[in-house]
């Protein structure tokens, strides 16, 4: 039997959670003994290639592409984990949630003080994913099995959860590792 596969992705997040993941430092060598990485920004594989044991999702859903990627992860991962406040609660991107979408777009492309846009163009290339009305935490879009909050969650928190899962132990974060900041 091959090693369990792990896929990771960053949706509406800042990559801080992935940076925190890399903060496990030399333990990453232990990790690659235990698992193979599938789709992930770390190896730049674009789509999940085969069934994965664990999917780690950073960021919530702010556009339709985020939703498609999240569906791909849910369909192909046995265990799906929201990691970081953006994934678990929407986080910083949800600051736009009580501002109408049109106002957000106008501020970004038309009215913002640093905007230079003489033709008054709002990007609407089909290549650019459409924004959702609001930013949603992942569990409001698909079923999520575990949540690791924090902005970002500490490397120790991620390590504790991953090693528990990979050794068939319950994922129980010690008190000091459960943080929302």
- What residues make contact with ligand SF4 under the rule CB under 6 A? 13-14, 16-17, 58-59, 84-86, 91-92, 151-152, 180
Contact status, residue 27 vs residue 157, Cβ threshold 8 Å: no
Q: Residue 54: name its binding partner from ligand SF4, another protein, none (Cβ under 5 to 8 Å by kind).
A: none
CA–CA dist 47, 21 (Å, integer): 20
Q: Residue 13: name its binding partner from another protein, ligand SF4, none (Cβ under 5 to 8 Å by kind).
A: ligand SF4
Residue 151 interacts with another protein (CB under 8 A)? yes
Query: Are β-strands 61-63 and 36-37 bridged in parallel, bridged antiparallel, or unpaired?
Result: unpaired
CA–CA dist 95, 91 (Å, integer): 8
CA–CA dist 153, 104 (Å, integer): 28
Total of chain residues touching another protein, rule CB under 8 A = 29
What is the nearest approach in angstroms of ligand SF4 to the Cβ of residue 54?
Answer: 18
CA–CA dist 6, 78 (Å, integer): 10
What is the nearest approach in angstroms of ligand SF4 to the Cβ of residue 92?
Answer: 5
What is the nearest approach in angstroms of another protein to the Cβ of residue 105?
Answer: 18
Structure tokens given for 116: 């230079």
The interface with another protein within residues 29-48 (CB under 8 A) comprises: none
Helices marked H in the chain — which ranges?
16-22, 27-34, 64-76, 85-89, 101-106, 155-166
**By rule CB under 8 A, what string of x and - marks binding of each residue 67-106 to another protein?**
---------------x--x--xxxxx-xx-xx--------
Q: Residue 109: phi, psi to the nearest 5?
A: -115, -15
* Backbone φ/ψ region at 69: left (φ over 0), alpha (ψ -120 to 50), beta: alpha
Structure tokens given for 152: 């970002």
What is the nearest approach in angstroms of ligand SF4 to the Cβ of residue 158?
Answer: 11
Q: Residue 97: name its binding partner from ligand SF4, another protein, none (Cβ under 5 to 8 Å by kind).
A: another protein
Instruction: Please identify, using beta-carbon distances, which residue of 4 and 131 lies nearer to ligand SF4.
Output: 131
What is the nearest approach in angstroms of ligand SF4 to the Cβ of residue 33?
Answer: 26
Residue 125 interacts with another protein (CB under 8 A)? no
Across the strands, what pairs with 52?
77
């Amino acid at each position: 039997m091959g090693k369990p596969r792990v896929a990771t992705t960053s949706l509406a997040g800042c990559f801080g959670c992935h940076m925190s993941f890399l903060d496990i430092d030399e333990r990453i060598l232990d990790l690659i003994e235990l698992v193979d990485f599938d789709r992930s920004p770390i190896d730049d594989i674009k789509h999940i290639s085969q069934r994965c044991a664990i999917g780690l999702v950073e960021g919530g859903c702010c556009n339709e592409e985020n939703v498609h990627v999240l569906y791909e992860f849910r369909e192909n991962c046995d265990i799906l984990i929201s990691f970081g406040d953006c994934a678990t609660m929407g986080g910083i991107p949800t600051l736009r949630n009580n501002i109408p979408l049109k106002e957000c777009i106008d501020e970004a492309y038309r009215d913002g003080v640093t905007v230079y846009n003489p033709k008054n163009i709002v990007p609407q290339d089909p290549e650019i994913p459409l924004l959702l009305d609001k930013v949603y935490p992942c569990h409001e879009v698909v079923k999520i099995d575990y949540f690791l909050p924090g902005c970002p969650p500490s490397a120790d928190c991620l390590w504790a959860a991953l090693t528990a899962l990979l050794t068939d132990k319950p994922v129980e974060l010690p008190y000091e590792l459960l943080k929302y900041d």
